[in-house]
Amino acid sequence: MFDGLLRTWPKPHRHRAVLFIARDMTSEIQRHRMDIPQIPRSRATSPLNVLLIDDQPIVHEGYKRLLQRIDKSIRVHSSTSAKGGYLTYGDIHPQVVVLEMTLADGSGLEVMKRLLKRDPKAKVILSSAHESPIYIARAHELGAAGYLCKRSAVPKLVSAITSVAAGGTFFCKCAADDLASDEPMPLDRLSNREFDVFRLLAEGHRASEIAEFLNISPKTASVHQTRIMAKLGLSNLAQLARLAIRHDIISF
C-alpha cells in the first residue's frame, strides 16, 4: 500500500516554520496565554489521544511540551514518517491526528486519504508552513477536519485539537478566508495527481524522478506533464515554476 510513499519524497523549504517551533516553548506559551483555551475538565477522566505525524523531531518536542503543559491528561503519540504514522494510527486509534502536509516519505494529502479510507471517522488536521489557497482547498475537499498554518501553530494548536475532537472543524484564519473566497484559481483545473506532478516539476524534478516518487511509470508521468502544461496554458517549465512560486506552492 505504501510503496509510493516509502520513496524519498522531496519537500519545500520549511526552515522558518521549524525555527519557530524550535523557540523556547515556555516563552511562547506565556506570550499567548490569553489565546490558548483550557481543555474541558472532563478530559481529565477521559484522556485525549493525539497522533502527531511530522518528520521534524523538534516539531514533535515543541508540540508535545505545549499540549502537556496545557493539560497533562493529553496523551501525545508521534511518528516521523508517512508509513509509521499510518501504522501507529491502527495501533492507538487517536481521536485527532495532526499531520504535516509535506513529509520526507510521502504527501500529507495522500496519507490523509489512506487514513480516511481505512477509517472514515478519522479526524485529521493538516499542518503546513504553506498558506496557498490551493493546498487549503484540496485539504478541505479531501476531508480534512482542520488546517493549521504553522506560523500561528502555538496559539491555535489547542483550539484546533479540542474543536476537532468535539466533532467540529478548525481552519485557521488564513485558511478560512481562502475557503470563503469564490475567486477561481488556475490550479483548480488540476486533478490531485496532476497537482502532485505539478509541484514536483516546479521543484525541478524530471519525469523519471517523479515516476519514482509517485510509484507510477515514466510514461504516465510524462502524460501528466503534457496535460498539466495544456490545462494551464504553459509553454515551458520556467513558466510553470513562476506560477508555482506566485501561488506559494514552492519557495526558495
The mean-pLDDT minimum among 41-45, 85-89, 218-222 falls in 41-45
pLDDT of 200 above 50: yes
Q: What is the mean pLDDT of the chain?
A: 79
pLDDT score for 137: 81
Tell me what pLDDT residue 87 has.
94
- CA separation for the pair 134, 164 (Å, rounded): 22
The grid cell for 242 is: 513562476
Per-residue confidence band for 121, with pLDDT thresholds at 50, 70 and 90: very high
Terminal Cα distance for the chain, rounded = 32
Strand ordering across the sheet containing 124-128: 75-79, 49-53, 96-100, 124-128, 146-149, 170-171
pTM: 0.71
pLDDT (tens digit, 9 = 90+) per residue, 130-139?
777 777 888 8
Of 24-38, 145-159, 167-181, the range with the lowest mean pLDDT is 24-38
Over residues 66-99, the pLDDT tens digits come to 888 877 788 999 999 988 999 999 999 999 999 9
Q: 186-246 maps to which CATH number?
A: 1.10.10.10
Q: Is the pLDDT of residue 32 over 60?
A: no
| Average of per-residue pLDDT across 175-187 | 61
Q: In the predicted model, is pLDDT for residue 4 greater than 50?
A: no
Query: What's the pLDDT score for residue 232?
Result: 94
Architecture of domain 15-180: 3-Layer(aba) Sandwich (3.40)
Q: Say which residue, 16 or 60, is predicted with more confidence.
A: 60
* Sequence ranges of the chain with CATH classification 3.40.50.2300: 15-180
For 247, residues 6+ apart whose C-beta sits below 8 A from its C-beta are 132, 133, 134, 185, 187
